[in-house]
Amino acid sequence: MADPYATLGVTRSASEKDIKSAYRKLAKELHPDRNKDNPKASEKFSDVTKAYDLLSDKDKRAKFDRGEIDADGNPAMPFGMGGGGGMGGGGGPFGGGGYRSTSGGFSSRDFEGMQGGEEVDLSDLFEGLFGRGGGARKNAGGNAGGFGGGFGRRPPPPPPRKGANINYRLAVPFADAAARKDQRITLADGSTVDLKLPAGLEDGTQMRLKGKGEPGPGGQGDALVTIEIDKHPFFTRDGDDVRLDLPITLDEAVKGAKVKVPTVEGPVMLTIAPGTSSGRVLRLKGRGFSKRGNGRGDQLVRVEIVLPADTSVLAEKLGDWQQEGNVRASLGV
């Protein structure tokens, strides 16, 4: 992948806010849903998403800026050969051309400039490092070097690498997250997947879709979906519980009533006992978030008594209640 800063169109000194703003603009413009007849837009959407995933992670961004990883998040300096010395540094034995790794390991082009721009046969280089050339002695088993283990043999080639992972961010409505409703996501190739949300879901939970990443010689990479739970206008989360402030009238608080209460799965009827005071918390069992092990949290309903704005109406109600109380007392009820 190209330089992630260039992919997002920002400078290396860009703030987190600038990077996020650039990503949102490009993701909206290049999203597959808006470019169904433009496959190049899907490719660019994938590149933009990978670039944002790297630069939005402070640790990864710092490592990339220091040259410790490449734009795909792979280690850029095997064997600890950083820019200050060794093979990659200007003070190392090979001069100041720098060193980089490729997706498949070493590349002879990484050492251009060591001999006037000519490519170097790496097999000769490593044979020299491990004592096979010149006066290298062989052990009793016929292997080169004095290590007794076979440094003279070429190691088997590494297995082919899988394709790169693709990172996605999915905004999930609060009520859907609590009730674990399936969520549909559109991938970079234009296909859609219905996600089954896991128990114990939290903001920032990452889900892996195997084989939904980029193709590679060793097979498909994966899709990594980070869940972002949206805010709700009147529900709030408290661990596995859901909290709600419920306004009721003075009549309902004094005399008691059955009132309709919203939950993450639709409204239910809640009994308000006579004489309920403002601030009392009532519990609706099993109406919260799913727990990691088993079961669900509850919904905690905090009652708030709303007084009438007209004080004359309030005085009238107080008189009615007092009269009603006197009648009850005289009847012995």
- State pLDDT tens for residues 159-208: 889 999 999 999 999 999 999 999 999 999 999 999 999 999 999 999 99
The answer to whether residue 94 scores a pLDDT higher than 50 is no
Residue 102 inside a domain? The answer is yes
Asked which of 194, 210, 229 is the last residue of a domain, the reply is 229
What CA–CA distance (Å, rounded) separates 163 from 43? 14
Do residues 86 and 16 both lie within one domain?
Answer: yes
- State pLDDT tens for residues 26-63: 988 888 878 878 888 888 888 989 999 999 999 999 99
Residue 157 inside a domain? The answer is no
The answer to whether residue 89 scores a pLDDT higher than 50 is no
Q: Which two tokens stand for residue 97?
A: 């051309």
The whole-number pLDDT of residue 234 equals: 94
The whole-number pLDDT of residue 98 equals: 40
Q: Give the model's confidence band at 315: pLDDT under 50 very low, under 70 low, under 90 confident, else very high.
A: low
- State pLDDT tens for residues 283-300: 999 999 999 888 999 999
Tell me if residue 219 falls in helix, strand or coil: coil
Looking at residue 296, which CATH number applies to its domain? 2.60.260.20
Residue 27 inside a domain? The answer is yes
Asked which of 229, 245, 280 is the last residue of a domain, the reply is 229
- Number of domain units in the chain: 3
* Domain ranges, residue 311: 236-328
Rg for the chain, CA atoms, rounded: 33
What CA–CA distance (Å, rounded) separates 181 from 173? 10
Residue 199 inside a domain? The answer is yes
Residues near 271 by Cβ (< 8 Å), separated by ≥ 6?
256, 257, 258
Do residues 199 and 259 both lie within one domain?
Answer: no
Residue 137 inside a domain? The answer is no
Mean pLDDT of the chain: 78
Phi, psi of 325, deg, nearest 5: -65, -40
**What's the start-to-end Cα distance of the chain, in Å?**
82
Do residues 113 and 204 both lie within one domain?
Answer: no
Query: Higher pLDDT residue, 241 or 73?
Result: 241
Do residues 217 and 116 both lie within one domain?
Answer: no
Q: Give the model's confidence band at 325: pLDDT under 50 very low, under 70 low, under 90 confident, else very high.
A: low
Do residues 223 and 265 both lie within one domain?
Answer: no
Residue 153 inside a domain? The answer is no
Q: Quick one: average pLDDT of 153-158? A: 84
Task: Report the interhelical angle of 39-55 vs 58-65 (nearest 10°).
Answer: 90
Q: Quick one: average pLDDT of 251-264? A: 94
Do residues 215 and 314 both lie within one domain?
Answer: no
The answer to whether residue 268 scores a pLDDT higher than 60 is yes
Q: Which two tokens stand for residue 207?
A: 């889900």
Residue 139 inside a domain? The answer is no
pTM of the model: 0.49
Do residues 185 and 77 both lie within one domain?
Answer: no
Residue 192 inside a domain? The answer is yes
